[in-house]
């Protein structure tokens, strides 16, 4: 076979393989490690413009408080209109895009979604302060076997460090049971303190604050939600010193300026941590956000196809001890 002919033959084979994959309707699997289950409240449901923080509004204390999201753009994403609408659209998107989600939040909603499609949802138990649940109740919940993950743990919104001793007994239970933990660190949007969380402190999102937890619980698997954005140097130093720490890209992947997102992700990969990045959205009430966020990774021209697959799938399989064959 002549070389040109071989190339043509090869191209034909690749084309056929791609064609088959499409005929089966099967996209390669994606694991979204950061999804919030919540009741849809039509009074608070708002449209949302992705990357709305590209232009943070000028504001002042005697002016109206900034809004959490920007709704003024050509094609804002539409919120779900009811719980049933959210569930139906989410399940449809998960099937079409071949996405499995780690989901935390409203227990009844998680159960509904999980009952409807057990293979598409990995339930996660959220806890951010000791007032929410006793350590015994926390252990009992995990022992039912329904919850496979602990998160989102977000002490930063309460003005508390993740290494605060009040959380320590919970982390000890997660460590003992081999339950991975997702901790919110870094970004909270524009004006979080002014809008809704006066106790929130930017400084309590510093990745270095995890070092005491990691030292006290050497077998605890932690991933840093939102990748400690924008504290990239601390994030890289922490991941360098602690070989089991992963990050996810949730939240900032659809809210901050696109170039900024790519600069942050690129820096993580450039620093050598491509095998420790998890794909996540921070999905709340906008089902179309899945496509929006997936597109950011698919269009990242500085990532190889292997690196994209690591971020979308392989890293999560490793981190959560999943069986890749379950996704075939
Ligand atoms: Zn978060």
Each domain of the chain, given as residue ranges in start order, spans 28-327
* Ligand 1 midpoint to CA 9 (Å): 49
Q: State how far Cα 183 lies from the chain centre.
A: 11
pLDDT digits (tens, 9 = 90+) for 83-133: 999 999 999 999 999 999 999 999 999 999 999 999 999 999 999 999 999
Parallel, antiparallel, or unpaired: how do β-strands 277-278 and 99-105 relate? unpaired
Between 137 and 67, name the one with better pLDDT.
Answer: 137
How far is Cα 82 from Cα 92, in angstroms, rounded to an integer?
Answer: 15
* Ligand 1 midpoint to CA 152 (Å): 7
Q: Cβ distance 33 to 223 under 8 Å?
A: yes
Could you tell me which CATH number the domain at 28-327 has? Answer: 3.20.20.140
pLDDT digits (tens, 9 = 90+) for 272-293: 999 999 999 999 999 999 999 9
How far is Cα 214 from Cα 216, in angstroms, rounded to an integer?
Answer: 5
Q: Cβ distance 298 to 59 under 8 Å?
A: no
Query: Residue 112 corresponds to which tokens in the numbers above?
Result: 């509904």
* Ligand 1 midpoint to CA 2 (Å): 56
**What is the average per-residue pLDDT within 300-318?**
98
3-state secondary structure of 223: strand
* Ligand 1 midpoint to CA 119 (Å): 24
Above 90 in pLDDT, residue 150? yes
How far is Cα 130 from Cα 293, in angstroms, rounded to an integer?
Answer: 33
Q: Report pLDDT for 24.
A: 62
* Ligand 1 midpoint to CA 18 (Å): 36
How much of the chain is in helix, strand and coil states, percent to nearest 5?
50, 10, 40
* Ligand 1 midpoint to CA 1 (Å): 56
Kindly report the average pLDDT of the chain as a whole number.
91
Above 90 in pLDDT, residue 4? no
Rounded to two decimals, the pTM is 0.90
* Ligand 1 midpoint to CA 153 (Å): 8
How far is Cα 258 from Cα 265, in angstroms, rounded to an integer?
Answer: 11
Q: Give 135-142's long-range contacts (Cβ < 8 A, gap of 24+).
A: 135/169, 135/170, 135/173, 138/170, 138/173, 139/173, 139/177, 142/173, 142/174, 142/177, 142/179
3-state secondary structure of 316: helix
Q: Report pLDDT for 314.
A: 98
How far is Cα 14 from Cα 323, in angstroms, rounded to an integer?
Answer: 27
The terminus-to-terminus CA distance of the chain in angstroms comes to: 35
């Amino acid at each position: 076979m002549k070389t040109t002919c071989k190339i043509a033959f090869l191209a034909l084979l690749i084309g056929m393989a791609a064609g088959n994959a499409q005929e089966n309707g099967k996209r390669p699997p994606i694991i979204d490690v950061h999804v919030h289950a919540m009741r849809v409240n039509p009074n608070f449901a708002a449209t949302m413009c992705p990357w709305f923080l590209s232009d943070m509004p000028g504001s002042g204390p005697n002016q109206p408080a900034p809004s959490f999201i920007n709704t003024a753009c050509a094609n804002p994403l539409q919120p779900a209109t009811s719980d049933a609408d959210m569930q139906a659209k989410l399940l449809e998107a998960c099937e079409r895009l071949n996405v499995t989600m780690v989901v935390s939040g409203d227990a009844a909603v998680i159960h509904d979604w999980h009952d409807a499609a057990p293979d598409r949802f990995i339930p996660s138990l959220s806890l951010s302060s000791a007032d929410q649940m006793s350590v015994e109740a926390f252990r009992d919940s995990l022992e039912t076997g329904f919850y496979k993950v602990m998160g989102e743990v977000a002490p930063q919104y309460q003005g508390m460090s993740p290494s605060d001793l009040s959380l320590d007994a919970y982390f000890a239970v997660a460590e003992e049971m081999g339950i991975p933990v997702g901790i919110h660190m870094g970004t909270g949007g524009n004006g979080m303190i002014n809008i809704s969380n006066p106790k929130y402190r930017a400084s309590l999102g510093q990745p270095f604050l995890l070092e005491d937890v990691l030292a006290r619980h050497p077998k605890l698997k932690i991933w840093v939600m939102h990748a400690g954005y924008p504290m990239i140097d601390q994030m890289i130093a922490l991941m360098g010193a602690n070989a089991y720490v992963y990050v996810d890209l949730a939240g900032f992947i659809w809210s901050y300026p696109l170039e900024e997102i790519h600069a942050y992700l690129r820096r993580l990969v450039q620093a050598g941590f491509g095998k420790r990045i998890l794909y996540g959205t921070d999905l709340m009430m906008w089902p179309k956000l899945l496509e929006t966020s997936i597109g950011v990774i698919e269009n990242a021209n500085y990532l190889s196809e292997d690196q994209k697959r690591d971020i979308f799938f392989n890293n999560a399989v490793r981190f959560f001890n999943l069986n890749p064959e379950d996704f075939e």
